[in-house]
Structure 1
Amino acid sequence: MKGNNSAAIQLLRKMEERACKPNLVVYNTIIDSLSKDTLVDDALNLFSEMMCNGVAPDVITYTSLIHGVCKLGEWKEATRLLHEMVSKNIYPDVHTFNVLVDTLYKDGMVLEAEGMVEIMIQRDIEPNTVRYNSLMDG
């Protein structure tokens, strides 16, 4: 099911017109919807706009973007976003790793997925049910 992204962006623009500064939750909601609908270029543009407006991203922002680029098989961009995220002292959580491991397994990159699980274990991030299901599928 696709989100109504155009209506969400119109609402965002109306907020800006009325001097109601959108916050991180507003941006994250739209970025997540755009990313899930594989409108990654639009999501990345909104991400840039968000930062230009002084709204700092968080783990949810980056996880949404990583999910979107992974759905398109853009591993270099996913890696770039992951490195950018960590360089800003925003660390991946279980959801970020779930996106990465699940997509790696689905793309047949079993060794890379297992490496990602090792990183999770090293960081004391406990895999959840979703992760264990992906591990079994892999």
Structure 2
Amino acid sequence: MEERGCEPNIVSYSTIIDSLCKDTLIDQALTLFSEMISRGIAPNVVTYTSLIQGVCNIGQWKQATRLLDEMLNKGIFPNLFTFNVLVDTFCKEGMVVEAKTVVDMMIQRGIEPDTITYSSLMDGYCLRGEMD
């Protein structure tokens, strides 16, 4: 792109980061993320959500919470998709209490949980044998 005079922007970086994360190439995605920031291109909610989804997909939920904290510290607020990734991951890890905390945070921020949110919670409770 640069050789042809087209400077990469947040959309192009986020697209590539998302693709790398979907291919579980998290280290390369994080390297590109660092490069993006060093070039003065600020990440947005889409960039962070892609990274959070990527680390969650490989079972690194602690890294996901660190990315969420970083995101919040930069004044970038999670959207429905970000929250749903976290709820689903926590539920799959058997951490339904943490997932419920995320749902409470969603509601406090005025983001209505959707069918994906509630389906993830129900799956989480079922996995724990808490059918009630």
Q: Say yes or no: does 1:115 pair with 2:83.
A: no
Shift in Å, 1:82: 0.7
Which is worse superposed, 95-104 or 17-26?
Answer: 17-26
- The letter for the 2-side match of 1:119 is M
Q: Say yes or no: does 1:94 pair with 2:97.
A: no
Counterpart-to-counterpart distance in 2, 1:65 and 1:25: 14
Using the size of structure 2 for normalisation, the TM-score is 0.89
Q: Deviations over 1:46-97 (max 9, x none)?
A: 0011111221100000000001111112122111111111111100111100
Counterpart-to-counterpart distance in 2, 1:136 and 1:84: 29
Q: Say yes or no: does 1:77 pair with 2:63.
A: yes
Greater than 4 Å deviation, 4+ residue runs: none
Alignment partner, residue 131 of structure 1: 117
**Paired residues for 1:9-24 under 5 Å:** 15-24=1-10
Counterpart-to-counterpart distance in 2, 1:89 and 1:68: 21
SS at match of 1:22: coil
Q: What residue ranges of structure 1 are gaps of 5+ in the alignment?
A: 1-14
Tell me the number of residue pairs that the alignment of Structure 1 and Structure 2 aligns. 124
Q: Say yes or no: does 1:49 pair with 2:70.
A: no
Shift in Å, 1:115: 1.1
Shift in Å, 1:136: 2.0
Counterpart-to-counterpart distance in 2, 1:23 and 1:49: 12
Q: Say yes or no: does 1:65 pair with 2:51.
A: yes
- Provide the identity percentage: 66
2:20/2:29 contact within 8 Å kept: yes
- The letter for the 2-side match of 1:35 is C
When the two chains are superposed, the root-mean-square deviation of aligned CA atoms in Å is: 1.1
2:90/2:96 contact within 8 Å kept: yes
- The letter for the 1-side match of 2:42 is A
